[in-house]
């Protein structure tokens, strides 16, 4: 079942042209737009809008002046914007929340704003709980736990971006009574992260591809790791998998913002004698 069908299958009240409200507040925060969740949420919404041209989508923002990242989405005839403080929740068939665990200053809980509504949320991971819990103060921990409880106790369809996230999310509530856990399990579905097409549909020509390959020192088959090397990104598993290959079969290209972590990893790889790992324009 595709995401658009899953999102709307239970709650349609207006026939084939439902009205979907989307909590777009996260796009008004620069740190949200720059992180992976912001990118994923935008492309996911765009995909649903394209898949359901007969549906009406209303982006609920902090103001009626949208941030630049929403400009192209709002060019579509079935997308409009409204101020979240002026909404009538009864006017919508479905409410979709793309960033339910945002605890940023001034970001009120969507489950309080949309009390009584039904719809879907995207759940990304339990990274704060699994990796950085000891780094947070009691206030943050309380807010995080409270938001998880609001998800658990609501009637929202929970869309997880990987099967691992789905299992991990359900494991967190495994102590619930059988009936309650079964209901939560039924509401939780994996939709996968998927791929997105560039807005500009850019396809590099042969010259550009060869130039890039030569720049990074790529000489044959290769794997690519894109993203930060924070603890929760599990880069160690990438290295272990790569080391299991016979020498010289492929290269591993690591693409990400240059920082102290990458320098530390690069130093470790050199000391361990792991060959064929490329960091940007530098080779190990």
Q: What is the pLDDT of residues 29-66, one digit of tens each?
A: 877 776 778 888 988 899 889 889 999 999 999 998 99
Residue with tokens 């809008």: 49
For the chain, where are the alpha helices, taking DSSP H only? 3-8, 30-34, 36-51, 110-113, 127-131, 138-153, 163-172, 178-187, 206-216, 235-243, 260-272
pTM over 0.85: no
What is the domain range of residue 122? 3-190
- Residue 51, strand partner residues: none
Total domains in the chain come to: 2
Q: Are residues 161 and 113 in the same domain?
A: yes
Q: Are residues 171 and 260 in the same domain?
A: no
User: CB burial class (10 A; 0-12, 13-18, 19+) of residue 183?
Assistant: middle
| Model pLDDT, residue 10 | 53
Q: Are residues 136 and 215 in the same domain?
A: no
| Model pLDDT, residue 268 | 82
Q: Are residues 185 and 58 in the same domain?
A: yes
Q: Are residues 175 and 76 in the same domain?
A: yes
Q: Are residues 220 and 161 in the same domain?
A: no
Q: Are residues 150 and 183 in the same domain?
A: yes
| Model pLDDT, residue 264 | 78
Q: At what angle do helices 178-187 and 163-172 cross, to 10 degrees?
A: 150
Q: What does pLDDT average to in each consecutive run of 10 residues of the chain (284 residues)?
A: 50 71 92 77 90 94 92 94 91 93 89 91 93 93 96 93 93 90 94 63 79 87 83 82 91 77 79 86 45
Give the separation between CA 281 and CA 284, rounded to whole angstroms. Answer: 10
| Model pLDDT, residue 202 | 65
């Amino acid at each position: 079942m595709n995401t658009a069908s899953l999102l709307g299958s239970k709650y349609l009240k207006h026939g084939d042209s439902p009205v979907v409200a989307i909590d777009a507040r996260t796009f008004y925060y620069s740190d949200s737009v720059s992180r992976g969740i912001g990118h994923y949420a935008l492309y996911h919404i765009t995909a649903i809008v394209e898949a359901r041209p007969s549906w009406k989508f209303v982006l609920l923002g902090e103001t009626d002046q949208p941030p630049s990242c929403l400009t192209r989405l709002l060019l579509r005839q079935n997308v409009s914007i409204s101020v979240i403080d002026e909404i009538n929740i009864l006017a919508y068939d479905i409410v979709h929340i793309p960033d339910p665990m945002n605890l940023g200053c001034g970001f009120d809980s969507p489950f309080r704003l949309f009390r009584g509504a039904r719809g879907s949320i995207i759940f990304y991971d339990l990274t704060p709980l699994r990796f950085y819990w000891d780094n947070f103060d009691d206030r943050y921990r309380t807010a995080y736990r409270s938001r998880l409880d609001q998800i658990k106790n609501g009637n929202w369809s929970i869309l997880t971006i990987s099967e691992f996230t789905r299992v991990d999310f359900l494991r967190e509530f495994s102590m619930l009574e059988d009936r309650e856990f079964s209901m939560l399990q039924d509401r939780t579905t994996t939709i996968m992260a998927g791929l997105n097409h560039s807005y500009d549909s850019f396809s590099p020509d042969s010259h550009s591809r060869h130039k890039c390959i030569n720049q990074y020192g790529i000489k044959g088959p290769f794997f690519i790791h894109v993203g930060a090397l924070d603890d929760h990104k599990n880069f160690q598993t990438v290295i272990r998998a790569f080391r299991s290959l016979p020498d010289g079969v492929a290269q591993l290209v690591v693409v990400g913002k240059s920082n102290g972590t990458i320098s530390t990893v690069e130093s470790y790889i050199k000391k361990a004698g792991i060959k064929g790992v490329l960091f940007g324009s530098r080779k190990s």
